[in-house]
């Protein structure tokens, strides 16, 4: 089962290497890892999606928690949370199919952020399902380039 971990870490060089290294050397698989600074510039937050059974997740959490740079770790899988991923996709778009693509973009409330002679770059945000759906819808036109950020997540309500 996929688990979503919210990890607050010291915002210092080398921290990402420590976290990623822990996963690789202990044989855990990272599905995605998104990292950025928080409201406190000394602290970064990582959203890590990791696949495994309860024992694996327990070990991942404990081992992560052992790292000196990890300040707080929560498994928010069972919580009510909002999650988003950002997608940028460059899709083949001859003038003949542009209208159709623009309709798809509308349906997904995505945006066109660049127009080339025969291509469009589309930006979309949403949960994993939506991002997968728009990707699938655009695939028939021919995707030239695609990049996804991986999931970021935040628990709903006042709870931190």
Partner 1 sequence: MAVRQVTEAIELSEVKDLGNLSKPEVLTGAQILIKALEAEGVDTVFGYPGGAVLAIYDCLYESNIRHILTRHEQGAVHAADGYARATGKPGVCIATSGPGATNLVTGIANAYMDSVPLIAITGQVSLDMVGKDSFQEADITGITLPITKYGYLVKDVKDLARIVREAFYIATTGRPGPVIIDIPKDICTQKAEFMYPPEIDLPGYQLKPYRNGKQINRAAQAIMRAKKPVIYAGGGVIASGAHRELLELAEKLNIPVTITLMGKGSIPEDHPLCLGMLGMHGTCYANYAVSECDLLLAVGVRFDDRVTGRVDTFAPNATIIHIDIDPAEIGKNVPVDIPIVGDVKLALRDLLKLVEPRERRDWLDTIEEWRRRYPLHYEDDNNGRLKPQYVIEQIYEITRGDAYITTEVGQHQMWAAQYYRCRKPRSFISSGGLGTMGFGLPAAIGVQIAHPEATVFDIAGDGSVQMTSQELATIAQYNLPIKVAILNNQYLGMVRQWQELFFNKRYSQSEVLGPDFVKLAEAYGIEAVRVTKREEVRPALERALATKKPFLLDFWVEREENVFPMVPPGGSLNKMLGR
Residues of this chain that interact with partner 1 (CB under 8 A) are 9-10, 14, 17-18, 21-22, 25, 55, 58-59, 62-63, 65-71
CA angle 43/46/52 to nearest 5° reads: 145
Token pair 């997608």: residue: 87
> Least distance in Å: CB of 113 to partner 1?
35
Nearer of residues 10 and 128 to partner 1, judged by Cβ: 10
Nearer of residues 61 and 137 to partner 1, judged by Cβ: 61
> Least distance in Å: CB of 3 to partner 1?
17
Nearer of residues 58 and 100 to partner 1, judged by Cβ: 58
Name residue 4's beta-bridge partners.
49
> Least distance in Å: CB of 22 to partner 1?
8
> Least distance in Å: CB of 74 to partner 1?
14
Burial 120-134 (b: 16+ CB within 10 A, else e): bbbebbbebebbeeb
Q: Is 83 exposed, middle or buried (0-12, 13-18, 19+ CB in 10 A)?
A: middle
């Amino acid at each position: 089962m996929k688990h979503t971990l919210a990890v607050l870490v010291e915002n210092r060089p080398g921290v990402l290497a420590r976290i990623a290294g822990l996963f690789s050397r202990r044989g855990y698989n990272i599905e995605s890892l998104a990292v950025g600074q928080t409201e406190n510039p000394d602290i970064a937050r990582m959203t890590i999606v990791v696949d495994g059974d309860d024992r694996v997740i327990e070990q991942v959490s404990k081992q992560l928690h052992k790292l000196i740079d990890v300040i707080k770790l929560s498994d928010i899988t069972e919580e009510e949370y909002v999650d988003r991923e950002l997608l940028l996709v460059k899709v083949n778009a001859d003038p003949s199919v542009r209208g159709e693509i623009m309709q798809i973009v509308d349906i997904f409330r995505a945006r066109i952020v660049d127009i080339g002679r025969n291509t469009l770059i589309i930006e979309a945000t949403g949960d994993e399902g939506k991002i997968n759906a728009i990707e699938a819808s655009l695939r028939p036109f021919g995707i030239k380039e695609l990049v996804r950020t991986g999931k970021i997540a935040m628990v709903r309500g006042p709870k931190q």
